[in-house]
Structure 1
Amino acid sequence: MRTIQLKKILNEHCIQFIEKKQMDLSLSIEDANSSLHSASNSTAGDKHDTSRAMMHLEIEKKSKQLNEVVQLKKLIPILIDNSQQKSFGVGTVVETNAGSFYMSFNAGKKEIEGQSFTFISLASPLAQAFKNNLNKKEFQFMQKTYTILKTF
């Protein structure tokens, strides 16, 4: 598969991952707000106050996660622009003896034409290890030996 076509597929996975996560979190917040409203209309008491407080905490937690996803969404144009770059950075694919990695953000794994790709953040320790060892081709990380076969 051509590099440009592969990177388009990898980028599409990133977009779909973020959109799904954003939708799931939005629905979760909506459900929690609905539950909170229902609990507010019920009888008063310590038990119900605790329940409402827990729902508020859950809404705050989900809202924070949603804000993080919105920030990740801002990476998409950068990812697409950098997908044809020559130096190591966002949009780089690193093929190793332990699998292939796409420098983007933590978005799990995706199988593409029989090849598994792990989506990792450029700030992750493993991505930094790849960056620092590009010239060595083989290095140890977390008690595992990685051999860099190809980067593009």
Structure 2
Amino acid sequence: MSPGLKQQLYDKCRELVDQRIKNAKDAMDSAQEAANDETKSSAGDKYETGREMMQQEMENNAVQLSEARKLKEIIDRIIPGKSYDTVQIGSLVITNNGSFYISIGLGKIILDGKDYFAIAPSSPLGALLMDKKAQESIELNGRTFNIQQVL
């Protein structure tokens, strides 16, 4: 196991969150620009409908931006170089059914051809793994997860 693996997972999570923030900001800017460019035509209802749709899009993008910023706050509190005896936020948990980076819920991350799953400690699997040690097991949806390592 590469000593820099947790750092790589951490960096990838930060990169994905930063990209989400950028995409949400760009989408909000684009929607605002489109709203500013909209000119009132003789079909007043069409204009109002278009403005309302753009307003809804801006609100949706604002929600996505807010959620991405919350993820960024969580990832910023993780210390990637810290090792753990029990599963904590920032742990990499190696099980017989996959490798899980307890951080934020981003799903599958592929590093060096291997799959890792970034999961939140509040997710069903994350909650069961929290505070467990190597050699312990948990069960979720009829599957047993034997914890082989906690890094």
- TM-score grouping bracket, smaller chain normalisation: 0.7 to 0.9
Once residues 144 and 111 of structure 1 are traced to their aligned partners in structure 2, the CA distance between those partners, rounded to angstroms, is 23
Q: Which runs of 5+ in 1 are unaligned?
A: none
Q: Which residue of 1 aligns with 2:2?
A: 2
Trace 1:76-95 onto structure 2 (pairs within 5 A).
Answer: 76-80=75-79, 83-95=82-94
Q: Which has the higher helix share?
A: 1
Residue 71 (structure 1) shift = 2.1
Residue 48 (structure 1) shift = 1.9
Trace 1:1-150 onto structure 2 (pairs within 5 A).
Answer: 1-3=1-3, 5-39=4-38, 41-43=39-41, 44-80=43-79, 83-131=82-130, 134=133, 137-150=136-149
Distance 1:90 1:133, change over 3 A: closer
Query: Is the Cα contact below 8 Å between 1:95 and 1:149 reproduced in 2?
Result: yes
**TM-score scaled by length of structure 2:** 0.87
Report percent identity of matched pairs: 27
Distance 1:6 1:132, change over 3 A: closer
* Cα deviation 1:41-86 (Å, max 9, x = unaligned): 2315112212211210110111121122122212233112674344
RMSD over aligned CA atoms reads 2.1
Q: Does the residue aligned with 1:74 lie in a helix, a strand or coil? A: helix
Aligned residues: 150
Residue 117 (structure 1) shift = 0.6
Q: Which runs of 5+ in 2 are unaligned?
A: none
Residue 133 (structure 1) shift = 5.5
Runs of 4+ in 1 over 4 A off after TM superposition: 132-136
Q: Which amino acid aligns with 2:40?
A: S
Distance 1:150 1:136, change over 3 A: closer
Query: Is the Cα contact below 8 Å between 1:120 and 1:127 reproduced in 2?
Result: yes
Q: Which moved more, 1:68-77 or 1:111-120?
A: 68-77
